[in-house]
Amino acid sequence: MNLNQSAPPVPPFGQPQPAYLGHHQSSYGGQPGSTTAPTSYGAYNGPVPGYQQTPPPGVSRAPPSSGAPPASTAQGPCGQTAYGQFGQGDVQNGPSSTVQMQRLPGYQPFGSAVLAPVVSQPAVLQPYGPPPTSAQVTAQLAGMQISGAVAPASPPSGLGYGPPTSLASASGSFPNSGLYGSYPQGQAPPLGQAQGHPGAQPPQRSVPPQASSFTPPASGGPRMPSMTGPLLPGQSFGGPPVSQPNHVSSPAPQVLPPGTQMTGPPGPPPPPMHSSQQPGYQLQQNGSYGPTRGPQSNYGSPYPGAAAFGSQPGPPQPLPPKRLDPDAIPSPIQVIEDDRNNRGSEPFVTGVRGQVPPLVTTNFLVKDQGNASPRYIRCTSYNIPCTSDMAKQAQVPLAAVIKPLARLPPEEASPYVVDHGESGPLRCNRCKAYMCPFMQFVEGGRRFQCCFCSCINDVPPQYFQHLDHTGKRVDAYDRPELSLGSYEFLATVDYCKNNKFPSPPAFIFMIDVSYNAIRSGLVRLLCEELKSLLDFLPREGGAEESAVRVGFVTYNKVLHFYNVKSSLAQPQMMVVSDVGDMFVPLLDGFLVNVNESQAVITSLLDQIPEMFADTRETETVFAPVIQAGMEALKAAECAGKLFLFHTSLPIAEAPGKLKNRDDRKLINTDKEKTLFQPQTGAYQTLAKECVAQGCCVDLFLFPNQYVDVATLSVVPQLTGGSVYKYACFQVENDQERFLSDLRRDVQKVVGFDAVMRVRTSTGIRAVDFFGAFYMSNTTDVELAGLDGDKTVTVEFKHDDRLNEESGALLQCALLYTSCAGQRRLRIHNLALNCCTQLADLYRNCETDTLINYMAKFAYRGVLNSPVKTVRDTLITQCAQILACYRKNCASPSSAGQLILPECMKLLPVYLNCVLKSDVLQPGAEVTTDDRAYVRQLVTSMDVAETNVFFYPRLLPLTKSPIENTTEPPAVRASDERLSNGDIYLLENGLNLFLWVGASVQQGVVQSLFGVSSFSQITSGLSVLPVLDNLLSKKVRGLIDSLRAQRSRYMKLIVVKQEDKLETLFKHFLVEDKSLSGGASYVDFLCHMHKEIRQLLS
Amino acid sequence: MATYLEFIQQNEERDGVRFSWNVWPSSRLEATRMVVPLACILTPLKERPDLPPVQYEPVLCSRPTCKAILNPLCQVDYRAKLWACNFCFQRNQFPPAYAGISEVNQPAELMPQFSTVEYVIQRGAQSPLIFLYVVDTCLEEDDLQALKESLQMSLSLLPPDAMVGLITFGRMVQVHELSCEGISKSYVFRGTKDLTAKQIQDMLGLTKPAMPVHPAHPAQPQEHPSISSRFLQPIHKIDMNLTDLLGELQRDPWPVPQGKRPLRSTGVALSIAVGLLEGTFPNTGARIMLFVGGPPTQGPGMVVGDELKVPIRSWHDIEKDNARFMKKATKHYEMLANRAAANGHCVDIYACALDQTGLLEMKCCTNLTGGHMVMGDSFNTSLFKQTFQRIFSKDFNGNFRMAFGATLEVKTSRELKVAGAIGPCVSLNVKGPCVSENELGVGGTSQWKICGLDPTSTLGIYFEVVNQHNAPIPQGGRGAIQFVTHYQHSSTQRRIRATTIARNWADAQSQLKHIEAAFDQEAAAVLMARLGVFRAESEEGPDVLRWLDRQLIRLCQKFGQYTKEDPSSFRLSDSFSLYPQFMFHLRRSPFLQVFNNSPDESSYYRHHFARQDLTQSLIMIQPILYSYSFHGPPESKR
């Protein structure tokens, strides 16, 4: 089980690695040509050094590794060595294959070794200590392997096998391991490391490549075995844990390159390494594992646990706490940092087909040169298998995450609007695809061939233009639709409902005025806010005044409509009690222009809180409210959006009445899915009507208890709306969050009454869609409303062969009504490569997007299947993907090695996060409503949001110098990375925690909280005091900037170490084992390895 | 009392009663041979400036089935302080308060000139007058403006403690809450959906025991007598509010496409009005005033669709059974009328439009509850304005000329039974010994409810002589009838007016001349006309005419003097001489002829005919042509 991403050895691998390094492009170039070994190597070496360089401390390792590879006979050896190193860490197929093969034997031995009781470990460690050098990597591997291989094989055998390969890999690390070994024994050192690490780690990062840890350099075959032994003990022992934390910290630093080249570096620099080289540590651990058979046995036990993962509800795994050095396994932080460093600096130019864009976590500019920006479309893979057989084999879902109205940074221009006048946009006669840069003009420009269906169409005379010598239209660069990936057409009347140009949309505010809403102060707050907020309705372009009209409704058991016509002296209230058969009581005066009716509206908003101040009405209705809003829009013949502010379960006698069906006993039963399903079909029917009318529903919930989010969110979900939930809303605590969300929601640009259609080249077609929308047929995504945050994930399947030459094209066309009432078509085009080699597929994958798809797939799955089944499906699919890679792309190696494709090395950790999420594995404190809420939230998240949602960002605040104004580098989300002398921020897009270590310097406490000691800090504090000092300003500034990055306001919660709130916080440390039974990263990786091995055997 | 004419006139002035026969045939057989039934025209609340009401309660016969009121015809034993009921012959003790009576010290009700006495009941809570305006807003701008002004004007005419409410309707129905400050509030109902009374009350929040409004302010005791409704408030409290509200009334805002009628939910509006009062003030006098400017075009009670190309039903359509909505609509309004009547609420319809407005279907609302029906071309005409103003006219005491929730009870001596009544009333279905099995008009009961009446409201009451031929009535025997009307006076007092009359019996064989001479041909003509019109409501026109003709022929046969085969020899006595002529005019009156009249007009004429007093009725049957000259007062001409 080599964990790491594909390693450098094999040419293909080589490529991936370089990629990480940032070199990739060049390296890729070289690698493809792998034939030229030297160059490629050079490249590799190059990168490697690079890696090493970063981690000066690690240098020692690096040298060895780097040195080693070269030393090892030309390429061949290198490859092996590399593999050895990478073996675990790097998936790199090419090299790995061979190397792995070799290693495998070595690993297997470990497996056998496992038998030895843990107890032995300590002893072993010491002995190993010496040998360990090579072992490290293997150790990790071993861990992995162990899980996979229960084989009783005797250690010796392992030795025998391993010596060559395993040794090689391990060797590099060994030194470290040895050191480590010592650490464990001497606890003091570890501690020192631990502390030191935080600081030290960063620098090291470069060094650490996880991959390396996995596959130790080829140094000594024998070492490997020994290594393993020692490592294990280390972990298992009390001592080791300490060291681990250190390690942990260190690994983070290693992050990037390490994976690939790790192998090289790790080995050599033993002693010095400690602090610097986390990889080394890992190795050690590994080594320890190996040696101590004990560990193996542990593994064995762990596996059972691992097996449990799939089903895993709660039972903690029997496994010993840690088997693998967390630093040795692929680190998201490292990957993110690498990508940021390597790709953040240059703009991403979309001209080339099938380019993998930078990660979502990287800040980069996009230059549209014919393909849609990744801000609009991201794919799971930018290289699609030509045949469905290949696709099936790989099991890699082919999906695109599309955000048609994505907001762009100010530096990037929004899509040009093309007006073709009366004739409307030019389209293919057969498949109706819109004119795009991929259309081929033929016959001197008189005709064009559709790039999607190959139909030859005439070019209308007014559109005719001559071609240049390359067959390109002369005016190609004058026309956005011929040169850009994204652009808009003005739609003609044919594209409008009832063949009438739409009227400007309307916003209707529908406010619950039952007892709860009044008492919590919500109504007063909201009315007050609306008075000013209404001046900021979305407007198009530079329009002076928003075209959006507004209307007001309040309700409890009955509905109150308000006539706010500008000619009235005071508003008129119209009560509709016939909730069973809702209708709109007035037409004129309900929807008004804000400016014209300013006075009346203000008067109304003043009076609403007064009118209901004494209400005793506790019952509410819900469906009739939506119905009313929809009818109002229908009567006004416009599309629009309803803003619903609702507090309680609608139990009043009316359609859509709900009962409290919250039942935690259903969790982990076959009936669990009912918790996610709506109680009644009435809401689907209602939603359908809403969609037909272009009525989008945004729901703000303020529940004090169960409100059945699963049912209430049906309409927002199907109409492209959003749901916001503020449990136990109190004005003092939640006002800022609510108002901020509200402002943003009201002001954001929205498209209404939209239809989205995704067209593809012949060969594949869109078969499945995920997101907040409604579909009445199998191809058209209907969205009553669509804003810049909403994302639709589309899955493609083959229905024919694709052609490598022509690639695969996607065209996403969105027909919508802008907020000024203009009917438009937004077109996004994207060209992808096609491949006949699986390796190409794996090399061009995007793990974040993959996770986005898989999460949405799973979250939809829970509606129909037991959660356990869904989890198992996910794990199986992931295992299949990796197994396929291993089988077809990775170089032969020991089955005990976990080899991950470079592009997917984070797949296990991310997948584990998905599996541990509240929806799939709820903790005791997670309510049914929370789960339903999260479920529907994720459904329309984009890649960046899912990325941080599943793997929260943990930012140390006090590690970097105060003067440093840039965002501090993140650390891995694990308890082990927290130092009690520091303060951390954790955010996942919905929550924001400020964790304060118990032994934080008093000065820091004082300057941040304005109190003199840790104990005086109020736990659960949600606002930091405004203090005039650098640290306070910096932290508050950082919090603000984090909030600005997310589509929803994150409420801050200050958590003190050892405080009871800490449990809540720890829930987000996703690399750790969770209280609800979620596996730790390491455990999960082992489990995954076992699954893969099962598939392979 | 020289002549019958004078006798009749005197009786009419004193009691508001005119009989077709003033001497009664003494047997059933003879009575049926008289052709014109024994009947009377009764104006229960005939204005009697000379008759001050007595401030005590009437003395009733103690027999539970009788309960007749002590009257001048009773035999009184002043010494024993006993009186004998002249209907059932029960002997009754005077109540203690009458201890002091003697021949010279008689209470008013025993004096012969007080055959009609009005008692004021002091017991029981007085309930205020209630006026519920139900206003159509699908009007032309100037019509609506005129109507608004009329309504505002009417507010100033109401007594300050009168309760008022406002419902407006068009496509929707709005029930306005009148008590709220700062914001005008109304409850809105869909105009297409029929709701039960319960639903309406639920939706208006009337069913909850305690109002959720202001429970937080316990100290507001002065409010609570009439808390039951936010929709009906004393005028003095919300005068300004309501005036403003009326002033701000807008035309129905829903667009009316070319070629369509506006959607007008009259049926639902009325249903809600009835339901509202039913839930808040049952068995209390109340007036629902419905103002419509066109036909109901949607929902229950719709009379015509909204397509202008489909005209509203005509008599022709009705005859061809081609009036799609008529039966259903009629049923709807009948149901409402009956509910309103059961609660003592009357419904007025003020319909002003150039086309028909569906009065045919809605007529029962006014006819069964004693409401007014006004038909005009526009609210912006003096016809409407003055008519409307006159509704609120006052009598010499400054009280409205209107009374509410009346019950008319008829008691007869044994030889007579009550066959029915024709007028703005509904049967209360009270069976008793004096109820005839034969029905003429609304029969089968001895009591009727008249929800709204004024001093001129007049009913026709029909009797049957049940005395058998072989049981002669002793010489000088008199038949007696007592009319007892309980009602709510416009001063909000409960009152009882009792009228007791008696007539001589005569043997028709031996004393035909007497009977003949006592024939009141004017009353007879009106009573027969009412019967005819009543029949016309349910029978084909020609059948009614044939029936009328046959009655006339039989009457002439019976009382005319002629030689067979010699038309010129035909003579009728003076007391019959005008009768044929009335019948002639009646035949061609709009009450029986529908030619050249729309169904609405026919309904309108019949409505009025069924409630006017004798003089008015006669004029309506036989219009008087006045000739004016500079040389003298107008003269009436034939």
Which pLDDT band holds residue A328 (cuts at 50, 70, 90)? confident
What's the mean pLDDT in A197-214? Answer: 37
Question: Are A587 and B255 an interchain contact pair (Cβ–Cβ within 8 Å)?
Answer: yes
Instruction: For tokens 């100033």, name the residue.
Output: B156
Contact between A210 and A7 (Cβ < 8 Å): no
The pLDDT, as a whole number, for residue B65 is 86
Which pLDDT band holds residue A188 (cuts at 50, 70, 90)? very low
DSSP type of residue A1051:
E
- Residue A30, chain B, CB below 8 Å: the answer is no
pLDDT, one tens digit per residue, over A912-921 is 999 999 899 8
State yes or no: pLDDT of A892 exceeds 50.
yes
Between residues A312 and A346, the one the model is more confident about: A346
Share of chain A above pLDDT 90, in %: 48
Distance (Å) from the alpha carbon of B150 to chain A's nearest alpha carbon: 22
CA–CA gap between residue A1005 and residue A994 (Å, rounded): 12
pLDDT, one tens digit per residue, over B411-445 is 999 889 999 999 999 999 999 888 999 999 999 99
Which pLDDT band holds residue A86 (cuts at 50, 70, 90)? very low
Distance (Å) from the alpha carbon of B352 to chain A's nearest alpha carbon: 25
pLDDT, one tens digit per residue, over B345-369 is 999 999 999 999 999 999 999 999 9
Distance (Å) from the alpha carbon of B215 to chain A's nearest alpha carbon: 7
Nearest to A511 by CA among A407, A375, A620, A674: A620
CA–CA gap between residue B481 and residue A209 (Å, rounded): 119
What's the mean pLDDT in A779-804? Answer: 92
Q: What angle do CA B271, B273, B277 make, to 5 degrees?
A: 120
Interface of B with A (CB under 8 A): 172, 174, 177, 180, 182-190, 193, 195, 202-205, 212-217, 248, 250, 253-255
Between residues B401 and A120, the one the model is more confident about: B401
pLDDT, one tens digit per residue, over A397-446 is 999 999 999 999 998 988 999 999 888 899 999 999 999 999 999 999 99
Strand partners, A991: A1051
Contact between A793 and A769 (Cβ < 8 Å): yes
Task: Please count the other Cβ atoms lying within 10 Å of the Cβ belonging to residue B181.
Answer: 11
State yes or no: pLDDT of A639 exceeds 90.
yes
Return the structure tokens found at A148: 């996979």
- Residue A599, chain B, CB below 8 Å: the answer is no
- 548-587 of A, contacting B, C-beta below 8 A: 558, 560-561, 568-578, 581, 583, 585-587
Share of chain A above pLDDT 70, in %: 70
Question: Are B183 and A578 an interchain contact pair (Cβ–Cβ within 8 Å)?
Answer: no
CA–CA gap between residue A873 and residue A1052 (Å, rounded): 36
State yes or no: pLDDT of A562 exceeds 90.
yes
Between residues A224 and A555, the one the model is more confident about: A555
Q: Please, what is the end-to-end C-alpha distance for chain B in angstroms?
A: 30
Return the structure tokens found at A427: 């389209």
CA–CA gap between residue A248 and residue A243 (Å, rounded): 8
State yes or no: pLDDT of B550 exceeds 50.
yes
Instruction: For tokens 């908003």, name the residue.
Output: A605
pLDDT, one tens digit per residue, over B84-96 is 998 888 899 999 8
Q: How high does pLDDT run on average in chain A?
A: 75
Question: Are B212 and A617 an interchain contact pair (Cβ–Cβ within 8 Å)?
Answer: yes
What's the mean pLDDT in B544-557? Answer: 92
Which pLDDT band holds residue A274 (cuts at 50, 70, 90)? very low
State yes or no: pLDDT of B529 exceeds 90.
yes
The pLDDT, as a whole number, for residue A186 is 36
Task: Please count the other Cβ atoms lying within 10 Å of the Cβ belonging to residue B324.
Answer: 15
Q: Which amino acid is at A374?
A: P
Q: Following DSSP, what letter does each residue of B104-134 receive, concatenated?
A: SS--GGGSTT-SEEEEEE--S-----EEEEE
Q: How high does pLDDT run on average in chain B?
A: 88
Instruction: For tokens 């390490």, name the residue.
Output: A258
The pLDDT, as a whole number, for residue A913 is 93
What's the mean pLDDT in A596-621? Answer: 92
Return the structure tokens found at A887: 């089988």
The pLDDT, as a whole number, for residue A855 is 95
Residues from chain A that touch B168, judged by Cβ atoms under 8 A, are: none
State yes or no: pLDDT of A1091 exceeds 70.
yes
pLDDT, one tens digit per residue, over A1041-1083 is 999 989 899 999 999 998 888 888 988 999 998 888 888 999 9
CA–CA gap between residue A18 and residue A94 (Å, rounded): 14
Question: Are A578 and B248 an interchain contact pair (Cβ–Cβ within 8 Å)?
Answer: no
Which pLDDT band holds residue A218 (cuts at 50, 70, 90)? very low
User: In a 3-state reduction of DSSP, which class is residue A1065?
Assistant: helix
Residues from chain B that touch A564, judged by Cβ atoms under 8 A, are: none
Distance (Å) from the alpha carbon of A718 to chain B's nearest alpha carbon: 28
Residues from chain A that touch B248, judged by Cβ atoms under 8 A, are: 568-569
Q: Is the ipTM of this complex over 0.90?
A: no
Question: Of A491-505, A728-742, B201-215, which range is least confident?
Answer: B201-215
What's the mean pLDDT in B245-249? Answer: 88
pLDDT, one tens digit per residue, over B583-629 is 999 998 999 988 889 999 999 999 999 999 998 999 999 887 777 87
State yes or no: pLDDT of A223 exceeds 90.
no
State yes or no: pLDDT of A278 exceeds 50.
no
Which pLDDT band holds residue A668 (cuts at 50, 70, 90)? confident
Structural domains in chain B plus CATH codes: 130-204+230-391 (3.40.50.410), 520-637 (1.20.120.730)
The pLDDT, as a whole number, for residue A280 is 34
Between residues A309 and A700, the one the model is more confident about: A700
State yes or no: pLDDT of A162 exceeds 80.
no
Task: Please count the other Cβ atoms lying within 10 Å of the Cβ belonging to residue A1023.
Answer: 12
Cα–Cα distances in Å, from B123 out to A782, B56, B126, B127, B443?
71, 10, 9, 12, 31
State yes or no: pLDDT of A207 exceeds 90.
no
pLDDT, one tens digit per residue, over B626-635 is 778 787 777 7
Question: Are A616 and B212 an interchain contact pair (Cβ–Cβ within 8 Å)?
Answer: yes
The pLDDT, as a whole number, for residue A609 is 93
Question: Are A616 and B215 an interchain contact pair (Cβ–Cβ within 8 Å)?
Answer: yes
State yes or no: pLDDT of B212 exceeds 60.
no
The pLDDT, as a whole number, for residue B109 is 87
Share of chain B above pLDDT 90, in %: 51
Which pLDDT band holds residue A450 (cuts at 50, 70, 90)? very high
Q: Is the pTM of this model over 0.80?
A: no
Which pLDDT band holds residue A891 (cuts at 50, 70, 90)? confident
Contact between A909 and A934 (Cβ < 8 Å): no
Which pLDDT band holds residue B228 (cuts at 50, 70, 90)? low
Which pLDDT band holds residue B180 (cuts at 50, 70, 90)? low
